Structure 1
Amino acid sequence: MNSIDLITGHWREILFGSFCLVILIQLYYYIFIFSRLAFYKEKPKDYTQNNPLTVIICAKDEAANLVDNLPGVLVQNYNSTHSVLVVNDNSTDESKYILEELQRTFRQLQVLPLTQSSSNIPGKKFPLSMGIMSAKTELLLLTDADCIPASEFWMQKMQAAFTEEKDIVLGYGPYKKRRGLLNKLIRFETFHTALQYFSYALAGKPYMGVGRNLAYKKTVFLNNKGFSSINHIPGGDDDLFISNVANKRNTAVVLDKDTFTLSEAKLTWKSWRKQKSRHYTTGKYYKPGIKFLLGMYSLSAFLVYPLLVLAAVYYNVWLALGVYALRMIFVAVTWRKVMHTLDEMDLWKWFLALDIWQFIYYFIFASTLFKKPARNWK
């Protein structure tokens, strides 16, 4: 019997074996990577030592967001030298006048007005670089104009994670809870992304942060020549930069709910798809090892449900469901613990539907990996 006849005669067993292999791959991620976040316990930190700190916010036509969110940054409980530097990037709205008014009340607010841009450096990297170069402190804390800290202790608790060895601090930037299906799906995608980048950081393989809540030392930026290696890429000021400079020794994560920064999720499917399409265009530039791990996880997650259906129909429904149930136990336990940590517990009761949604999500956004990213950051 030749190999073709062997495959033809045992295709049902091969199909079921393929399904089992996909489940084993998934279990590897949940047991050896995601469990690090699920069972992570933050060590007590000394919050009495507040280091000099600069918060940097890049804003381009963000007048409404500056009114709503900037006061929440300016009233932080922080008993040390600190400033809030807003880089006003060629805004044509009322941003200038709003910032001038806020400066009358808050002495720590500094404004860096940009009246020119760099055509050779697309995206947000040019205004962010200008802000970092203008900062007078070693410790930098980054967020966006559409974000507001979850508490008055955001600055204090984020900077407490810095040590002589820890140069980079990864925070969480969730979206505000609102009614509606789209809001839940956006928040789930944000949670699922955090599940991965926090877990990999705890496993000694940090590969990204989010610009909504990220901190690092100025010397890290300068010693690595800023964004020079990624200036040709429209995005990447947060994930690709961290991928290039972070390692298992110099990176810390902060999961305290007081350190979250909150922002409003997109209100339409079209705007969300556009946002995610822009974000995913940077994934192709990750380091090969991380691309392999992320790709293998996404591919195996995508194949779970097609192979489950085929194995149940053509092999044995109860065996297929048994293998599937084993995976779902790990998914349920891991998601519940991490959702509790990240204050997303309202999503957990939908975990089965959200897991199925992942298959649809990967199908919808797969094409974005091959699209050319937009050059503008706003």
Structure 2
Amino acid sequence: MLLLYVFGTIVLINCGYYLLFSKFAFYTIPEKSFQETPPVSLIICAKNEAKNLQEHLPFWLEQNHPDFEIILINDASADETLDVMEDFALKHPSIKIVNVQNNEAFWASKKYALTLGIKKASNKHLIFTDADCKPATKHWLVEMASQFSSQKELVLGYGAYDKTNGFLNTCIRYETMLTATQYFSYALAGMPYMGVGRNLGYTSSLYYANNGFISHIKVASGDDDLFVNENATSKNTAICVREESFTYSIPKNTWKKWINQKKRHITTSKLYKPKHKLLLGLFYVANLLFWVGTAVIFFFYSWEIPALIIGIRLLLQYVTLGNAAKKLKENDLIPMLPFLELFLICMQMCIFISNRPSKNPRWK
């Protein structure tokens, strides 16, 4: 009976996490509230992104926010990125350009480039996205900005990926949906721990009060999640999950590129606060042990009790992640949830094993 008790405990831990995720899965999205839309500075850092800027700048410029500027940061690009920025700036006075040159102290550092862009901003409220992102609607900037208040200085949005054909795209969107469900749920539970730079907002006062990125300036990535992990609290953090507030990015198109991206994320997550690393690590281990236990439990016990335990766990997964997927407009993932979870666990294990210590990669 010992094995059954152990397996039951693992499933109980699993279910505890899915109950936590129900914070977001059953979260009631507020009605539109645009009464207060403070002036904002939209900040985009670009390195060799001429094509994406040409395509996406019109979407940013047509936002219906009444008072915003766009800060375009050219981070020492080798292509026509700066030319594209200057062409748009000639036609649109709301655009400001920061042209960053490489220097010996901050070679290829996105955080250094972002710091210069933040200093250029005229407005206190800052919204960040990436050059390969486009907003879902003309209301994106208003939706994000309206979440700021006298107490809320940090806004977490959802950065989705474009839907394309193929299993790789399905995996990328599942992992993105699961990660968003986690960080939105933790934030709603009063434990915000990360956000994504594809759709993120915070005030300049929060940035300067906490010395910006200085504590992790030498880490190549983490301008988004490490900043949030260090500075987000239960009182100063808001979430923005209306469909109009989503951004959509171009996903990686090869397994190698995606795996390399995940390696960087894992390296960055090692710098999270201990309590967050413990909770996130336990979630992964519990999921791994659940599938290991599912594979062996029927060899030792009659099928009825193990099947009941497994069924309860899978049902809870479908209810919570299914509702979360609907909120994030990823409905097509719902039928494949258990399979995608198992595949992602295996992929993460391979990445953990192969992710040997190495020099910090440059951001692009």
Name the TM-score class by shorter chain: over 0.9
Matching residue of 1:282: 268
Work out whether 1:207 is the aligned partner of 2:193: yes
Residue 321 of structure 2 is aligned to residue 335 of structure 1: yes
Judged with a 3 Å threshold, the aligned counterparts in structure 2 of structure 1 residues 312 and 252 are, in CA distance, closer, same or farther, namely same
For residues 95-114 of structure 1, what are the structure 2 equivalents within 5 Å?
95-114=81-100
Point out 4+ residue stretches in structure 1 off by more than 4 angstroms. Answer: none
1:23 is the counterpart of 2:11: yes
Q: Does 2:156 match 1:170?
A: yes
8 Å Cα contact 1:283/1:291 also seen in 2: yes
The alignment-based identity, stated in percent, is 37
1:53 aligns with 2:40: yes
- 1:92-171 equivalent positions in 2, closer than 5 A: 92-117=78-103, 119-120=105-106, 123-171=109-157
CA contact (8 A) 1:90 1:113 kept: yes
Q: Deviations over 1:163-209 (max 9, x none)?
A: 10000000000100111111000100101111111110111000100
Q: Offset of 1:122 from its aligned partner?
A: 6.1
How far apart, CA to CA, are the structure 1 residues paired with 2:3 and 2:187?
A: 35
Q: 1:354 to 1:97 in 2, by over 3 A?
A: same
Report the residue type matching 2:57 in the other structure: L
* Residue 244 (structure 1) aligned to one of 230, 237, 248: 230
- The residue that corresponds to 2:350 in the other structure is 364
Q: Residue type matched to 1:74 in 2?
A: L
Q: Let me know the Cα RMSD of the aligned residues.
A: 1.5
Q: CA deviation at 1:121?
A: 6.8
Gaps spanning 5+ residues in structure 2: where? none
Q: Secondary structure at the match of 1:110?
A: strand
Normalised TM-score (structure 1)? 0.93
Q: Select 2:284's aligned residue among 293, 298, 305.
A: 298
Give the TM-score taking structure 2 as reference length.
0.96
Q: Please list every run of 5 or more consecutive structure 1 residues that lacks an aligned counterpart in the other structure.
A: 1-12
Structure 1 pair 37–368 and aligned structure 2 pair: CA distance change class (3 A): farther
Q: Counterpart amino acid of 2:188?
A: L
The aligned counterpart of 1:85 is: 71
Deviates more, 1:243-252 or 1:123-132: 123-132
Q: Partners in 2 of 1:343 and 1:312 — Cα distance?
A: 36
Q: 1:20 & 1:121 partners in 2: Cα distance?
A: 51
Distance 1:41 1:117, change over 3 A: farther
Secondary structure in 1 matching 2:5: helix
1:235 aligns with 221
Q: Say yes or no: does 1:36 pair with 2:23.
A: yes
Residue type at the aligned position of 2:17: Y
- Kept after mapping to 1: 8 A contact 2:71/2:97: yes
Q: Say whether the 8 Å CA contact 2:106–2:112 is kept in structure 1.
A: no
Q: CA deviation at 1:36?
A: 0.3
**Offset of residue 135 of structure 1:** 0.8
Q: Does 1:216 align with 2:184?
A: no
Q: Offset at 1:49?
A: 2.9
Deviation at 1:120, TM superposition (A): 4.5
Instruction: Give, in angstroms, the shift of residue 321 of structure 1.
Output: 1.7
Q: Mark the structure with the bigger radius of gyration.
A: 1
Count of paired positions:
364
Q: 1:223 to 1:377 in 2, by over 3 A?
A: same
Q: 1:307 aligns with which of 283, 293, 298?
A: 293
Which of 66, 72, 75 matches 2:53?
A: 66
Structure 2 partner of 1:187: 173
SS in structure 1 of the partner of residue 112 of structure 2: helix
Tell me if structure 1 keeps the 8 A contact 2:69–2:95: yes
Q: For the residues of structure 1 that align with 2:116 and 2:353, how far apart are their CA atoms?
A: 34
What amino acid maps onto 1:15 in structure 2?
Answer: L
- In 2: Cα distance, 1:370 partner to 1:322 partner: 40
Shift, 1:59, TM fit: 0.5
Alpha-carbon distance, 1:20 to partner: 0.8
Aligned to 1:258, which of 244, 248, 256? 244
Distance 1:179 1:261 in 2: 19
Distance in structure 2 (CA, Å) of the matches to 1:373 and 1:254:
35
Residues 35 and 272 from structure 1, CA distance in 2 versus in 1: closer, same or farther, beyond 3 angstroms? Answer: same
The residue number in structure 2 matching 1:6 is none
Q: Report if aligned partners of 2:60, 2:134 keep a CA contact under 8 Å in 1.
A: yes
Supply the distance in 1 between the matched residues of 2:235 and 2:8 (Cα, whole angstroms).
36
